[in-house]
Structure 1
């Protein structure tokens, strides 16, 4: 009696559809500039990630009234997302290097989109926080692979331009977040802040299926390092919660000390685990490469400088009677300058200018702009050009810095490298928000003199971070990376 194998074959085809990366159509692969289509697809994720980061704070008022919750409770909608995202970026990159970056990126967008829809339907604040953690898991799968997909799709000589476009998409999402969020909350309600992700996610999933290239170089993983993941999550979560608590999260002093002590113990334990593990979560050899080490320091400092003013400027201006709308418009000068320099820098600067020189020039520009905060009055007129110049400097610095990092990482580990870059950015973001908030709280905003003092202390923090970025660029590699010389 013959056995009907059609259901079994159909099941195998269904499994392959879920676990095997599909090739792009020949018409896409054969296009001379087809790689730009892959970069454009990745920009959807870059845009949505930053839009979501800057849009959610606009929902706090609606969440407090809708769920009858305190501000401290509502803050967990943002904090839970950030904690989960930073903890999962490196593991997501590691899995992508083993199983396929296109596959993990598309799964990430699917999880992010479904979780966004669930956030919009959340029946309680607890459920919303839980859905935000799931959303962060999807975002980690996207962000860990975004830089890797750009660097493996673009030709070596166009890598910096491609990373600049991706950085500009992030800046655009950051710039539009307050405006879009304010409009959605005012007209349709806070739930639409999450539902707006759904149509974009569907478009990105379809585009990614057809336009993203398959993974060519992979790192074989025999088993997953679960103890390493636990230690990394403990270290990053404790550090971020400690920083947040020190800057105003309602945690007693002994609790802050415990959090920092836990981070100080888990961090070295994670490093020891990675040295001994048969299949480590993070190849520590990557961190011994000069371009990677100093590049990550530069990335952290750059994002601290990027996000610090996003907290500082609205607080300072609104305390002086400026409307929220005007403060938001002033703030757009920073991401607008970022996007302009990130996309147009290659056209304005000499083609042969080294990435290290570009990093130094960009870091020098935003250092001078941040130093200007020490002397200018906290009014609209002086702040707009300072923020625009800061954005221009960051737009020159960030693509060149990312190129140095990713150019020094083997293609087979580009997912892990991308996860490291984005984890460092997340830490820089948290530090920028926390340190500026702490400076403002210590100085106070009740009087004009206190407001000026808060501005000065915040500027000292931002200038210090800028100087660290200058130092990291100066100490970075002075020649091409081995991967660049090999043309891989």
Structure 2
């Protein structure tokens, strides 16, 4: 029986791969499998909400927990997974992440009840945390400094391709074979990712020093996020008594305050608040949260609106494709099309303002063709914003903590995505209470526009460079890509 050390040993790439001039980009391409897989799963699930409501005889407020449960578990696990990866090795964590995610996806496709499906989604989230906490870190430690923003753009584009493929793929699968296949399709993608990662990803060269864990911080973070989402879900029609709603809100506030105090005193904090303050990246992380709220909100909103008006899941998927398609195109091309002299902060401001304007314009009733254009431009704005914001964050962190930093980036994305689900569901439920079919979508889109403005403001704030002697992830350093 193999030892634990053997199971955690990172395999070297073949010499023929290592010597290739394109070896760093082979690593980026492999990382894109995970980025594609995670976002495909996210967008497919939202298109399946109406089918899940029919299958399990549940309302939207209950079915949304297929997405929210996954996202909350992801939020709680991303930073611990990133910290463990920085110490044990990013490649081995990434490979095992594929295995767990693909196995859990197969189990989700066989779930016999809504509760079982939600529970299996928590396991799926553990695999996704191992993937996502490493995705940004593997890019910035594999690609030379001058090419890193472009590489982050490619990785963001892979996420966008996953998002773009999800609505149409989900609509086709649900129409042809049923909702179970939206999970089962992850299995072959996961197998390809494991094989590609084994041969194409570099071993970890710079590892963080061994240190303690922070289970208390993880419990408090999960409690804060879950209680807050339960409170919002209760307001969205979950059907719980008022005392339960008040209790959830009180627990969220108390756990949040406890998390703040705990992390300031912890010897090995889950969220290093002092490091965040020193690097000055807290506003940029807030911007990442708002950007993903805006990106994910329409993926929940438009399937509900279109199906309520007599359309199908495929109709919703075709309409929504323009949003992630615009995101992917801008993430890849903005580095070439925008003036080279524009700093990341200006790119963030421009992208956030464009997204805010498009979200506000979508609240005005218009033909589908106009909505397709506006959703595409909304994606363009977020595609300009996201790589620039990520580059700012990672440039402020030491290379040895790249996966931990990537985990924080993806954790804030996860919170933003969960809020996108919850805020849109709350807006739609409010419209139902007002007996006005147009009020719910308008309220949801107003919230998305406000979040985009907040992202523009947050992205315009500079982060601090690493202290002298520290090697920033955004600086030319490390030779991970050569191993």
Does TM, scored on the shorter chain, surpass 0.5? Answer: yes
> Following the alignment from structure 1 to structure 2, what is the Cα–Cα distance between the partners of residues 284 and 80?
26
Q: Is contact 2:166-2:317 (8 Å) kept?
A: no
2:247 counterpart of 1:261: no
Residue ranges of structure 1 left out of the alignment (5+ in a row) = 1-10
Q: Indicate the SS of the match to 1:247.
A: helix
Which string of whole-angstrom CA distances, capped at 9 and with x for unpartnered residues, describes residues 98-126 of structure 1? 21111111111111111112222334444
Q: Once structures 1 and 2 are overlaid, which stretch shifts more, 125-134 or 38-47?
A: 125-134
Name the structure 1 match of 2:334: 345
Partner of 2:443: 457
Query: How far does residue 486 in structure 1 lie from its aligned partner after superposition?
Result: 5.3
| Contact 1:290/1:476 (8 A) holds in 2 | no
Deviations 1:378-408 (A, max 9, x none): 4313212211111111110001001101111
Q: CA separation of 1:107/1:438 partners in 2, compared to 1, >3 Å: closer, same or farther?
A: same
Q: Is the 8 A contact 1:317 1:380 kept in 2?
A: no
The 1:187/1:157 distance shift into structure 2, 3 A limit, reads same
Counterpart-to-counterpart distance in 1, 2:466 and 2:114: 48
After superposition, residues 33-72 of structure 1 pair within 5 angstroms as: 33-60=22-49, 63=52
Give distance in 2, aligned partners of 1:278 and 1:345: 41
- How many correspondences in the alignment? 473
1:426 aligned onto 2:414: yes
- The separation in 2 between residues aligned to 1:281 and 1:215, in whole angstroms, is 22
**Distance in 1 separating the partners of 2:306 and 2:69:** 28
SS at match of 1:128: helix
Which of these residues, 280, 293, 302, is aligned with residue 269 of structure 2? 280
Instruction: Tell me the distance in 2 between the aligned counterparts of 1:485 and 1:476.
Output: 14
Distance between the aligned counterparts of 1:404 and 1:227, measured in 2?
Answer: 30
Q: Does 1:99 align with 2:88?
A: yes
Alpha-carbon distance change, 379 to 321 in structure 1, aligned in 2, over 3 angstroms: farther
Of the three residues 262, 272, 295, the one matched with 2:284 is: 295
- Name the SS of the counterpart of 1:213 in structure 2: coil
Aligned match of 1:84: 73
Structure 2 spans left out of the alignment, 5+ residues? 478-483
Change over 3 Å in CA distance of 1:123–1:308 after alignment to 2? closer
Q: Which of 363, 373, 378 is equivalent to 1:385? A: 373
C-alpha distance in structure 2 between counterparts of 1:211 and 1:124, whole Å: 39
Q: Which residue of 2 aligns with 1:409?
A: 397
Q: Distance in 1 between matches of 2:139 and 2:245?
A: 39
Instruction: Report if aligned partners of 1:243, 1:431 keep a CA contact under 8 Å in 2.
Output: no
- State how far apart, in whole Å, the 1-side matches of 2:412 and 2:66 are: 21
Q: Find the counterpart in structure 2 of residue 111 from structure 1.
A: 100
Matches within 5 A, 1:476-487: 476-477=462-463, 483=472, 487=476
Structure 1 residue 174: Cα displacement: 1.2
Distance 1:291 1:361, change over 3 A: farther
462-471 vs 266-275, which moves further: 266-275
Q: TM-score, normalised by structure 1?
A: 0.89
Residues 146-191 of structure 1, C-alpha deviations (whole Å, 9 max, x = no match): 1111111111111111111111111111122122122223323333
Contact 2:229-2:422 within 8 A present in 1 as well: no
CA distance in 2, matches of 1:337, 1:53: 17
Q: Matched residues in 2 for 1:130 and 1:366: separation?
A: 34
* Alignment match, 1:6: none
Distance 1:322 1:198, change over 3 A: closer
Q: Is the 8 A contact 1:113 1:201 kept in 2?
A: yes
- Of 34-43 and 48-57, more deviation after overlay is shown by 48-57
Q: Give the deviation of 1:46 after TM superposition.
A: 0.7
- Residues 124 and 32 of structure 1: CA distance in aligned 2, closer, same or farther (over 3 Å): same
Provide the alpha-carbon RMSD of the alignment.
Answer: 2.5
Larger Rg: 1
Per-residue CA distance 1:4-61 (angstroms, 9 max, x = gap): xxxxxxx56x644411112222222222221111111111111111111121244456
Provide closer, same or farther for how the CA distance between residues 32 and 216 of structure 1 changes in structure 2, counting only shifts above 3 A.
Answer: same
1-side partners of 2:52 and 2:306: how far apart?
Answer: 25
Taking the aligned partners of 2:313 and 2:113, their CA distance within structure 1 comes to 28
> Could you tell me whether the CA contact under 8 Å between 2:236 and 2:430 is conserved in 1?
no
Tell me the SS of whatever aligns to 1:351: coil
Taking CA–CA contacts closer than 8 Å with sequence separation of 6 or more, which of the two structures ends up with the larger relative contact order?
Answer: 2
State how 1:155-304 maps to structure 2 within 5 Å: 155-289=144-278, 291-304=280-293
Contact 2:10–2:203 under 8 Å retained in 1: yes
Query: What's the TM-score, normalizing by structure 2?
Result: 0.90
Q: Which residue of 1 aligns with 2:480?
A: none
